[in-house]
A and B are shown apart, each in its own frame.
Chain A
C-alpha cells in the first residue's frame, strides 16, 4: 500500500466515522441493551433484577395474548396496507386526469396525512359514535363500531386507511407527473385503449414507487400504536391489541422491563424480516427504480 493509498483510506474512515459512531450510539447500543434486558427479570419497583435466560421467550411462545397480538398486527398491516395501495393508486390516477380543483384536492389529501394520529383517533371516536356518529347516520344502522369484537379492528383499519392513503396517493402522483407524454402518445398510436394503457404502460412504470410505498407503509403499520391506543385501548377483549400496545402495557404501564423488552425484540425481529424481504425485492428491481 502506498502512502497515498493509506492517506485516502484514513480520510475515508474519518468521513465514515461520525456516521458510524452516531448510528452505533443511537441504534446499535439501545438495541443490544434491549436484547440484554429481555434476558432478565427486571421490575424496578420491586427491586427485582436477575438473569432468567430465555424464560420470557418461552412464556411468550405459549402466551395466547402474544399470539393474538401478533395475529391482530398482521391482519391490521395486511388489510390496511392493501387498501391504502389500491385506493392511493386510484386517487393518484384520478388526480392526474382532474383539471379543475386539483390544488384543492391535493391540500385536502395533505390535511388528512398531516393530522397527528391522536387527533385522527379523536376524530374517528366521534365519527364512530354509536348514536351521534356520522358513520352510523350515513349507514342508517346503529353499529357498535368500537365495542363489537367483530367490528373494532375493521374500524381501526378504516381510520388508518383514511389517514395514510394520501401518502401513497401523493407518491404515485409524483411519479405519474414524471412520465413523459410521448409514452402515452406512442401507446395511443399503437391503438391501446384506456385499460391496456393502464395495464402495460402506467402500472409497470409505477411498479418501483409502489414497492417503496409498500415498504414504508408496511413497516409503519407493523409498528402502529396511537390509533388503537386512543380509540379502543386494545379492546374489546383484546381484539385490537397489537404487539406494540402489548409491549407498551408491559414496559411502561406495569414496568416489567425484561418481559416488555422480550416483546420489543419480537417486534424488531418481525419488522426486520419483512424489511429484508422487501429490500431483496427492491434490489431485484435495480436500476429501473
Chain B
C-alpha cells in the first residue's frame, strides 16, 4: 500500500510542477471547503458551470472534515507553511480577520469594490472587511433565532415573547397547564465550546453589553454583562431550562425540541428544515421569532455565523481564483444554495424574497428579518483567543462555580496577559 501512496505523491508532485510552468495555458484551481452537510451538495454543479464559462480552467474541489477545529488546524498548518496546494478556500467568518492579519489571504480590494458587498446582509459584509480592505466574499450565513411551539402558545392564547422575563412566565404557565414532566421550557447551548460564547453574546446584546467594543476594550459594560450571565444561570436554577443545557450543543438541544419535549429552543436556521421534515413529530407546529430582549437592550439581535470565500495569497492563478470566488458569491451562484434539499442559507438579501427560493424554503422571508437585525461576533484577529478564554469562565457561571463578576474579572485578567503578548 505504501508504495501506491508514494507513487501517488510523486504523481501529484509532478503534476504540481507541470502546473507551475503554465503562463496562459490550462489552469487547475483547487477549492478547499468544509464538507457540505444535508441531503444535497450544490458545489459540484456550480464548479462545472464555472468551468463552462471559463474555458481552459478546471476546478478540483477538495472537502475537509466538517469539524471547525480541524478545518482551522488544516488551514493554519498549510497557510503558515506558505503552501500553494490550494487556491480558493472556504473559511468560517470568525477566521477572516485572523487569516488576513497573518497575511495568508489575498487582499481582494483591487477586484472587489466595497459596494459589491452591499447586497449582502450587513452582518455578513461586516465580517468580510478588516482594516478597510476586503478579504473574503460572504457565501452562506447563519443567524441565531428563537423557535417556539406555535401550537402550545396558541392553546394558551400567548404571542411569542418579546422579553426573556415574558418567556420564563410563558414557560411556567404552559408547563403548569400541560402537566407533562417531560416537557422542558427553553433549550440553548451551554456546553463549554464556541456555541456557549454565541449564546452569551446574544444575552449581552439583549442587555446592552458586549464582549469587545470598537476600541478593543473587553466587557465595556461589565455590570450589564454580569446581569446577562446571572440571568443565564437563573434560567437553569429556576427550572426554566433543564440542568443539562450546561452540556448541550446544537444537536443535543435540537433533538428533544424536535421530538416535542420543549417549548422554546435557541438555534440556527438549519433546524427548521428538520422540524418540517415529513416524519417530524413537530411538523407544522413550530414558529420562528426574534430572540427576546433583556431590560437594558434590544430584542431580536441574533449572532451570525457562516462561511466566506477567500483566495490563498500564494496562489499562482490570482485572476482565475478571484473569478471563481466572485462567481460563487454572485447572486446566480448563491441561488444554488436555495434549491430544495440544500441546508445552507445565502448571504444575499434579495434571494430571501425570490419566489422560487421561498417555495423551496417557506421560512426564508422570516429569516430575512432576523438576519437583517443580526450582528457578527467580534470582528478581530484574536477572536479565537478571546473565545477560548471566556468559554471556561462563562461555563463556570452556568454551573455555579463562580459568580458572574468573578468570572468576568478572571477572564479580563487572563486576556490582558494574552493580548499583552501580542504587542
Q: Chain A contacts of B76 at CB under 8 A?
A: 252, 255
Q: Chain B contacts of A237 at CB under 8 A?
A: 192, 392, 395-396, 398-399, 401-402
Given contacts A234-B192, A253-B69, contact A41 B421 (CB under 8 A): yes
Q: Are A253 and B72 closer than 8 Å at their CB atoms?
A: yes
Q: 8 Å CB contacts to A: which residues of B191-250?
A: 191-193, 242-248
Q: Chain B contacts of A144 at CB under 8 A?
A: 243-244, 246-247
Q: Chain A contacts of B384 at CB under 8 A?
A: 253-254
Among residues of B, the one whose C-beta sits closest to the C-beta of A42 is B421
Q: Is B280 located at the chain interface by the 8 A CB criterion?
A: no
Report how far A195 CA is from B105 CA in the complex, Å. 70
Query: Chain A: how many interface residues by the 8 Å CB criterion?
Result: 37
Q: Is A31 located at the chain interface by the 8 A CB criterion?
A: no
Q: Are A148 and B192 closer than 8 Å at their CB atoms?
A: no
Q: How far is the CB of A4 from chain B (nearest CB, A)?
A: 40
Q: Are A232 and B392 closer than 8 Å at their CB atoms?
A: no
Residue from the list A233, A255, A259 in contact with B192, Cβ < 8 A: A233
**Mask of A227-247 contacts with B, CB within 8 angstroms, 1/0:** 000001111111101000000
Given contacts A148-B246, A235-B191, A249-B388, contact A43 B421 (CB under 8 A): yes
Q: Chain A contacts of B246 at CB under 8 A?
A: 144, 147-148, 235-236
Report how far A125 CA is from B382 CA in the complex, Å. 31
Q: In terms of DSSP, what is the predominant structure of the interface of chain A?
A: loop
- A residues touching B (Cβ–Cβ < 8 Å)? 41, 43-46, 48, 59, 65, 125, 129-132, 142, 144-149, 152, 232-239, 241, 249, 252-256, 259
Report how far A255 CA is from B31 CA in the complex, Å. 24
Residue from the list B80, B182, B382, B422 in contact with A131, Cβ < 8 A: B182
10 contacts between A and B (CB under 8 A): A41-B421, A147-B191, A147-B247, A147-B248, A234-B192, A235-B246, A236-B247, A236-B396, A238-B192, A254-B382
Among residues of B, the one whose C-beta sits closest to the C-beta of A155 is B247
Given contacts A129-B252, A130-B243, A234-B392, contact A45 B381 (CB under 8 A): yes
Q: Chain B contacts of A59 at CB under 8 A?
A: 417
Report how far A59 CA is from B414 CA in the complex, Å. 11
Q: Are A44 and B80 closer than 8 Å at their CB atoms?
A: yes
Determine the interface band of chain B, counting residues with CB < 8 A from chain A: 35 or more
Report how far A255 CA is from B98 CA in the complex, Å. 11
Using A46-B381, A130-B247 as known contacts, list a sample of 7 further A-B pairs with CB atoms less than 8 Å apart, ordered by residue number in A: A45-B382, A46-B422, A146-B247, A234-B392, A236-B191, A236-B396, A254-B382
Given contacts A144-B244, A149-B401, A232-B191, contact A65 B102 (CB under 8 A): no
- B residues touching A (Cβ–Cβ < 8 Å)? 69, 72-73, 76, 80, 98, 101-102, 182, 190-193, 242-248, 252, 255-256, 261, 381-382, 384-385, 388, 391-392, 395-396, 398-399, 401-402, 414, 417-418, 421-423
Report how far A142 CA is from B384 CA in the complex, Å. 34
Report how far A72 CA is from B108 CA in the complex, Å. 46
Q: Are B191 and A241 closer than 8 Å at their CB atoms?
A: no
Report how far A253 CA is from B418 CA in the complex, Å. 14
Q: Which 8 A-B pairs have the closest CB atoms?
A: A235-B192, A147-B247, A147-B246, A130-B244, A237-B396, A146-B247, A238-B392, A45-B102
Report how far A46 CA is from B100 CA in the complex, Å. 10
Q: Are B422 and A235 closer than 8 Å at their CB atoms?
A: no
Q: Chain B contacts of A147 at CB under 8 A?
A: 190-191, 243-248, 399
Report how far A149 CA is from B401 CA in the complex, Å. 8
Q: Chain B contacts of A241 at CB under 8 A?
A: 392
